[in-house]
Amino acid sequence: MEQKPIPGADDPALIAAFEARIASGESIEPKDWMPERYRKQLTRMMSQHAHSEIVGMLPEGNWVTRAPSLRRKMSLIAKVQDEAGHGLYIYCGAETLGVDRHDLFNQLLNGTAKYSSIFNYPTLSWADMGVIGWLVDGAAIVNQTVLAKTSYGPYARAMVRICKEENFHKRQGYEICATLASGTPAQQAMLQDAVDRIWWPSLAMFGPSDKDSPNTGELLRWKVKRKTNDELRQRFVNLTVPQAQAIGLTLPDPDLTFNAETKNWDFGEIDWAEFFDVIKGNGPCNRERLEARNTAHDDGQWIRDAATAFAAKHAKRGVEAP
């Protein structure tokens, strides 16, 4: 479904009134007037975010059958299931902007939509489950805690609940890391290897550096984003270095040094060529992730057909389907 143009969309008076509301910190709600560009930017961000939650289930789903204990298996299943829920809240939120989630989802399935670069890397060992929870969910929390104050009401409210669940994910990940860090030399080596592979892609999750981020300026002006990509990345590094030190891990960056003047941890250069290659579809697992999503979608056709038939049967009888 195409988003409908809003009457008066380019009216400068409407734009001025909208910007005044944003400036005074008001929340924009679905039935409020908004510039088309604001609607488009939010649709882009929210759909990419929802897709990331859904694709984000795949790397961890890969380890559910191989979790080392029943306790670990239960918490991993719960985490993966939470990600599905996050995807659903955000697709619902995106629909309040006048799009149809099926259209958004089809863009994911046919490879025309973006989702987070991080999920195009493989999960090679059990330690990856710990490091993903700690670093990837940790990065998501840094980004999403700020998004909980975004100017679009439905997105901000979805983020509040999602952040609570992401906190649980981060803790379960860090607990796995702390356990492996105090384990056998083989477990410690497996953990360090996972950190070495996942550290840099986690930093890249925050998006290109500010000078190469075409959307940040407009999004900050409309208070969709409240911090830039680089500001959030720096906050993540500052929070994470002491956590790595606490369990004896080395972060794979020889340039990582504490800057006494700025009170920040300075870090080395991200491999931006790799990042742009991954978001163009050429990462190690892009093809595999899309194939897995398409297969799951096709395999689920029968249940969608059954649910549609069930709803139609009840509609015919004048009963609302449960």
Residues at the interface with ligand BYC (CB under 6 A) = 44-45, 48-49, 52-53, 56, 83, 114, 116-117, 136-137, 140, 143, 204-208, 213-216, 219, 229, 279
Closest CB to ligand BYC among 213 and 294?
213
| Packed helices 185-204 and 229-246: angle between N→C axes, nearest 10 degrees | 170
Closest CB to ligand BYC among 103 and 305?
103
d(CA 256, CA 240): 12
Tokens of 221: 């002006």
Give least dist CB 82 to ligand BYC, A. Answer: 9
Residue type, 16: A
**Which is nearest to 47 in space by CA: 5, 109, 4, 132?**
109
Give least dist CB 83 to ligand BYC, A. Answer: 5
Closest CB to ligand BYC among 93 and 178?
93
Give least dist CB 176 to ligand BYC, A. Answer: 15
Give least dist CB 169 to ligand BYC, A. Answer: 7
Write down the H helix ranges in the chain: 12-23, 36-55, 57-61, 70-95, 101-109, 127-131, 137-147, 153-181, 185-204, 216-221, 229-246, 272-277, 286-299, 301-317
Give least dist CB 213 to ligand BYC, A. Answer: 3
Closest CB to ligand BYC among 11 and 73?
73
Closest CB to ligand BYC among 188 and 213?
213
Helix (H) or strand (E) holding 259: strand 257-259
